[in-house]
Amino acid sequence: MKGKIVLETGEIFEGTIISGKGVKTGRLVFDTRVVGYEKVLTSPEYSGKIVCFTYPLIGNYGINYEDTETEEVFPSAVIISEYSEIYSNFRAQCSLADFLKDKPVSMLEGSDTQYLTAIIRNRRGMAAGIAPADIETEKVLKEMKKNSGIACAQVKTKQDILKTGRPYIAVINLGVKKSETAALKNSEFDWIFFPPGAPERDEIMAGASGIYVTSGPENPAVIEEAASVIKKFLGRIPVFGAGTGHLAAGIASGRKISGDILNHYGINHPVSDTKENRCCITEQSHSLSLEKKSAGKTARFVNINDDTEEGQYDEDMRMMSTSFLPRDVNFKEFFSLIKGR
């Protein structure tokens, strides 16, 4: 089916819709990874976004369910330069097109993704729409305007409790991913996952050895709610926030979210760890950051490309956070904070 990309500026790019139907709108971002598109599709951080993959060939290694981050698909649409129907990967279980079949996400190929990336880089936070070619552009623009607010899918955040008598970590679940869950469950601690609105949240957190705030969609209301939940425990119980949790931890400590819109999506983003005096190669998926001017001495991780803050560390408050996907070394430091409490 012939399709088109409509930018909020009115610019139009032609392509072919190979999956999905109807009009899909969202904030247009670009993702730099070569592999791992199943991670992008199943990560809550991409909720309500249209993802433009910069790598020219997508689909050639298929889908491996072991590498998905959740059971859901979150972007409203994806844009690729060329789709490969043939996949070759001994771990693959199906093709990308088969994976997206019957999912509420459109996939369009055939547009110049490099040119689109250049546009997004210079005009960050741009809204866009994907639609069949025969739908009037004005209708797509109206749909984009109607959905101009925060578009975030509902993330499953049911309570998950493990009690064996050991000390536990209270996990405020804003949209936790498998990679985060694996790191927590491999620790020496038990864990209790719960949404920020859980009635028994204060009781759970009061008895916890540490508090972890997960990643999730960049929904300001949810971020503010999580911040209010952990604020009363800062300085008493070690806190670690990742991704969206980084923003919640910052707000809880008196920081503000910057008005700048970023395009920190993909892998191999270089970040300076000022505490350890080393460079970290990170995986990122966020558009929001904390105001750097309000950081004081707590700013620890800094993006080498654009000098934005990527994480904080406050020894007095016993709080740390990363806007990027935390690595094993970050979790180990958090566990050390708990043990040294």
In this structure, the answer to whether residues 286 and 334 fall within a common structural domain is yes
In this structure, the answer to whether residues 298 and 323 fall within a common structural domain is yes
Residue 194 lies in a domain: yes
- Identify the CATH number of the domain in which residue 334 sits: 3.40.50.880
CA pair distance 144, 53, nearest whole angstrom: 21
Residue 155 lies in a domain: no
Residue 151 lies in a domain: no
Boundary-marking domain end, from 114, 146, 178: 146
Q: Is the pLDDT reported for residue 292 higher than 60?
A: yes
In this structure, the answer to whether residues 215 and 284 fall within a common structural domain is yes
How many domains would you assign to the chain?
2
In this structure, the answer to whether residues 189 and 43 fall within a common structural domain is no
Mean pLDDT over 116-145 rounds to 92
**Model confidence at 31, in pLDDT bands (50, 70, 90)?**
very high
Helices (H) and strands (E) in the chain, counts: 9, 19
In this structure, the answer to whether residues 175 and 97 fall within a common structural domain is no
**Model confidence at 153, in pLDDT bands (50, 70, 90)?**
very low
What pLDDT shows up at residue 140?
A: 94
Residue 153 lies in a domain: no
Q: What is the tens place of the pLDDT at every residue in 10-21?
A: 999 999 999 999
Of 296, 298, 297, 325, nearest to 313 by C-alpha is 298
Q: Is the pLDDT reported for residue 149 higher than 80?
A: no
In this structure, the answer to whether residues 69 and 165 fall within a common structural domain is no
In this structure, the answer to whether residues 123 and 177 fall within a common structural domain is no
CA pair distance 153, 48, nearest whole angstrom: 7
In this structure, the answer to whether residues 136 and 195 fall within a common structural domain is no
Mean pLDDT over 280-292 rounds to 94
Q: What is the tens place of the pLDDT at every residue in 248-261?
A: 999 999 999 998 99
* pTM attached to this predicted model: 0.93
Rg (CA), the chain: 20
Q: Which DSSP letter does residue 326 get?
A: P
Boundary-marking domain end, from 99, 114, 146: 146
Q: Residues near 122 by Cβ (< 8 Å), separated by ≥ 6? A: none
What are the helix (H) ranges across the chain?
A: 37-41, 96-100, 113-122, 137-146, 178-185, 201-206, 220-231, 244-252, 328-339
In this structure, the answer to whether residues 75 and 176 fall within a common structural domain is no
What pLDDT shows up at residue 162?
A: 61
Residue 262 lies in a domain: yes
Boundary-marking domain end, from 111, 146, 181: 146
In this structure, the answer to whether residues 165 and 287 fall within a common structural domain is yes
Residue 251 lies in a domain: yes
In this structure, the answer to whether residues 101 and 167 fall within a common structural domain is no
CA pair distance 31, 281, nearest whole angstrom: 15
CA 153 → CA 5, 50, 122, 185, distances in Å?
A: 22, 13, 27, 26
Residue 152 lies in a domain: no
Mean pLDDT over 114-129 rounds to 92
- Identify the CATH number of the domain in which residue 90 sits: 3.50.30.20
Residue 79 lies in a domain: yes
Q: Is the pLDDT reported for residue 156 higher than 80?
A: no
Q: Which residue has the higher pLDDT, 142 or 186?
A: 142
In this structure, the answer to whether residues 67 and 117 fall within a common structural domain is yes
Q: Is the pLDDT reported for residue 116 higher than 70?
A: yes
Mean pLDDT over 293-314 rounds to 89
Give the range of the structural domain holding residue 91, as residue numbers without chain letter: 2-146
What pLDDT shows up at residue 187?
A: 86
